[in-house]
Amino acid sequence: MNKVFRDNRELLVLDLLNKIWHYTMNERYERYSKANRQITHGQQPVTDYCLLRLQESEQWSSSNRVRMASETEGEVIQANGKVFLTNLARRWCSCGHFQENGIPCGHAFSIIRQVQNRSPRDYIPQFFSLTTWRATYSTNLRPVSLEDLSQFNNLVNNQEEGEVVEPTTERRTQGRRQLLRQESGAQRRKIVRAQARLNGVQAPPSHGKGSQACRRCGVYGHNRATCNVELNF
């Protein structure tokens, strides 16, 4: 977003929203037109991204060796000796790339080569097809004009004095907003008693003398003013 609207970031809010709206509208139409042209000319049945991933998988599969367990499952050994398990029925591979987006990885490509009458494109999800891509962008944003807001601006400028909204009288709390929930004293005492039981030591009293922890060292039985514990940082 910063790269696309780098030259428009200093515009007024309304002008910036207008730029974003029409940029999105134009990009959606370009993708719809591209998908429509590719379907019309019959260049490819899948999107450019999917086709590129298939080409990469085919390139990686050229040096692999395969040990088949069934028509849908096998073991793929790479040139460096690493072994990966692949299951075409589950669309799964131990490398993790096959189940990432449904496009066969290099290991799955190697298994598919061993199966007769099967093609890597048989395992590609439907949402990578050009028909789905075209349908995604078949509806688009409608163009808008900032001049249509002139009537609204005139209405605001000509409003009666009685309709003017007065500023709020509520005061905002000072200081930085707290992000973490503070631990209550009762919760802290429960945690301390539980830790004491686990460590096999006597827990501090729940109230009265010795129930307050030192804010300097965290030890119970004294306070910050009388603390004599040396802290090493």
Query: pLDDT tens for residues 107-126?
Result: 999 999 888 788 888 899 99
Structure tokens at 197: 């039981």
Each residue of 11-39: pLDDT tens digit? 888 888 889 999 999 999 999 999 999 99
In this prediction, residue 60 carries a pLDDT of 87
Contacts of 46 (CB under 8 A, 6+ apart): 54, 121, 124, 128, 129, 130
In a domain, 75, yes or no: yes
Tell me the residue range of the domain where 52 lies.
Answer: 48-123
In a domain, 219, yes or no: yes
Helix (H, G, I), strand (E, B) or coil at 105: coil
Q: What was the pLDDT predicted at 233?
A: 45
For the entire predicted model, the pTM comes to: 0.55
According to the model, what pLDDT value does residue 181 have?
66
Give percent of the chain above pLDDT 70.
81
Question: Of 70, 105, 123, which marks where a domain is finished?
Answer: 123
Q: Is residue 106 part of a domain?
A: yes
CA distance 89 to 71: 9
**Where does a domain end: 123, 152, 180?**
123
Q: Considering the domain boundaries, does residue 160 fall inside one?
A: no
**215: number of CA atoms within 13 Å, CB side?**
3
Task: Check: CB of residue 131 under 8 Å from CB of residue 39.
Answer: yes
d(CA 14, CA 67): 62
Which pLDDT score is estimated for 133? Answer: 92
Which residue stretches of the chain have pLDDT < 50? 160-161, 233
Q: What is the pLDDT of residue 171?
A: 76
Residue 158 lies in a domain: no
Last residue of a domain, one of 79, 99, 123: 123
Distance CA 205, CA 161 (A): 66
Tell me if 64 is assigned to some domain. Answer: yes
Give the total number of structural domains in the chain.
Answer: 2
- Asked if residue 184 is part of any domain, the answer here is no
User: Is 41 within a domain?
Assistant: no
Check residue 5 and give its pLDDT. Answer: 81
CA distance 93 to 158: 68
The per-residue pLDDT for 152 is 57
